[in-house]
Amino acid sequence: MSDISIRTTGRAGRITLTRAKALNALSYDMCLKIEAALLDWRRDPAVALVIIDAEGDRAFCAGGDIAEMYATGTKGDFTYGQTFWRDEYRLNALIADYPKPVISLMQGFTMGGGVGIGCHAAHRIVCETSQIAMPECGIGLVPDVGGSLLLARAPGQLGAYLGLTAARMGPADAIFAGFANLYIPQDRWPDLLTALEHHPDLSVLHSAAEDPPQGEMQSLLPQINTHFAAVKLTEVGRSLESSNTDFATDTLKKLARNAPLSMACALDMLDRLKRGTPTIHTALDLEYRFTYRAMQKGDFLEGIRAAIIDKDRKPVWKHPFDAVPDADIVQMLAPLQDAQIDFHEETTA
């Protein structure tokens, strides 16, 4: 069975992820097929809008399919992963810049690569089961697929908290943080899709939207702002250690699981992306600097070994939490000399 269904129905271009048993994990081939469809449809007057959804109740897309990256990377071949990330990021920018309305419907888990195809759409719909997260620091990466830009734009220091802890956002939290913008109960989705396919009037989305069940991030924001105001990982750690609260204790436990180099670089990236007027291209270029080097110079292969291959959950990171040299951060985020993302030129409908 195919991992993805791409077709046109009525006035809508339809992209449905069909790897439900694998939590709709995004493979390289799926990325290329989505990209090809979007490029075809952006010039097709018969297609008025694009809908991206997924089969199954457990996940819209729980991340990228990273098994092949590990298999090739452990043999010293870093080109497969570097190519995957380059082309995936090009797709993320295409969705963000798309000249026609893109609608994503994100039930269950939306993580990592799923954020890249779901959370840059113009109309991002969550439901009662939605759980959105950026867990990359736990496997030796940084928040990527353009997620760093979403984190940088989140209220206060919420982005740093979400990126470093991999905390999961329910529907209200996802809307508050800027990863989604509409809450529509899932039982309304079939009728909504039928309406959009035959009468591409986006007002039906807002007519169907409701207030989501209450989240927790807004109430936690004062504590998050206090402890995550620093750009340096060690300062974040010291702030949390000095606080005798359940929030600080729980947050320190979450940080202790993740790769210190990744967290330190993520903080640096978010600080850069909070300045000026960065675009999705700015963020993806910065992310690619890290992921391009992640296998050879970072903790990615060890993170995957501990989480996915051996499943011992005992990664041996390159750095201790309180001793990530500034020079190593600079090295991971330095401009790439011979590797660039070949973004598509923006095209109006």
Give pLDDT, residue 348. Answer: 44
Strands 131-133, 49-54: pairing is unpaired
Buried b (16+ CB within 10 A) or exposed e, 135-145: bbbbbbbbbbb
- Whether residue 269 has pLDDT greater than 90: yes
Q: Which residues pair with 6 in a beta bridge?
A: 15
- Whether residue 120 has pLDDT greater than 80: yes
Token output for 260:
């210190």
Per residue in 132-143, pLDDT tens? 999 999 999 999
Question: Considering the chain, what percentage of its residues have pLDDT values greater than 90?
Answer: 95
Half-sphere exposure (Cβ direction) of 334: Cα atoms closer than 13 Å: 11
Give pLDDT, residue 338. Answer: 87
Q: How confident is the model at residue 345 (pLDDT cuts 50, 70, 90)?
A: confident
Q: What is the dihedral of CA 276, 144, 221, 226, to 10 degrees?
A: -70
Domain parsing of the chain, residue ranges? 4-333
Give pLDDT, residue 349. Answer: 42
Question: Considering the chain, what percentage of its residues have pLDDT values greater than 70?
Answer: 99
Q: Which residues pair with 131 in a beta bridge?
A: 109
Give pLDDT, residue 251. Answer: 98
CATH 3.40.50.2300 holds for 4-333: no
Using alpha carbons only, what angle is made at residue 86 by residues 83 and 89, rounded to the nearest 5 degrees? 145
Q: Which residues pair with 124 in a beta bridge?
A: 104
Per residue in 8-57, pLDDT tens? 999 999 999 999 999 999 999 999 999 999 999 999 999 999 999 999 99
Distance of CA 148 to the CA centre of its chain: 8
Question: Over the chain, what is the mean pLDDT?
Answer: 96
Distance of CA 145 to the CA centre of its chain: 5
* Residues whose CB falls within 8 Å of the CB of residue 222, separated by 6 or more in sequence, listed in order: none
Give pLDDT, residue 160. Answer: 98
Using alpha carbons only, what angle is made at residue 59 by residues 270 and 14, rounded to the nearest 5 degrees? 95
Whole-model pTM: value is 0.96
Per residue in 84-113, pLDDT tens? 999 999 999 999 999 999 999 999 999 999
Per residue in 285-344, pLDDT tens? 999 999 999 999 999 999 999 999 999 999 999 999 999 999 999 999 999 998 999 999
* Residues whose CB falls within 8 Å of the CB of residue 303, separated by 6 or more in sequence, listed in order: 138, 139, 140, 141, 259, 315
Dihedral sign, Cα of residue 282, residue 93, residue 82, residue 177 = positive
- Whether residue 184 has pLDDT greater than 50: yes
Mean pLDDT across 178-206: 96
Token output for 123:
């109309």
Query: What is the SS3 assignment for 55?
Result: coil
* Residues whose CB falls within 8 Å of the CB of residue 92, separated by 6 or more in sequence, listed in order: 116, 117, 120, 145, 146, 280, 284
Give pLDDT, residue 32. Answer: 97
216/118 Cα distance (integer angstroms):
22
170/153 Cα distance (integer angstroms):
18
Kindly list the distances between the CA atom of residue 146 and the CA atoms of 85, 117, 287, 297, 307, in Å, as whole numbers in the listed order.
11, 10, 8, 22, 23
Q: How confident is the model at residue 68 (pLDDT cuts 50, 70, 90)?
A: confident
Dihedral sign, Cα of residue 328, residue 334, residue 339, residue 341 = positive
Q: How many CB atoms lie within 10 A of CB 111?
A: 25
- Whether residue 347 has pLDDT greater than 60: no
Q: How confident is the model at residue 81 (pLDDT cuts 50, 70, 90)?
A: very high
Give pLDDT, residue 1. Answer: 57
Q: How confident is the model at residue 65 (pLDDT cuts 50, 70, 90)?
A: confident
- Whether residue 64 has pLDDT greater than 90: no
Per residue in 220-261, pLDDT tens? 999 999 999 999 999 999 999 999 999 999 999 999 999 999
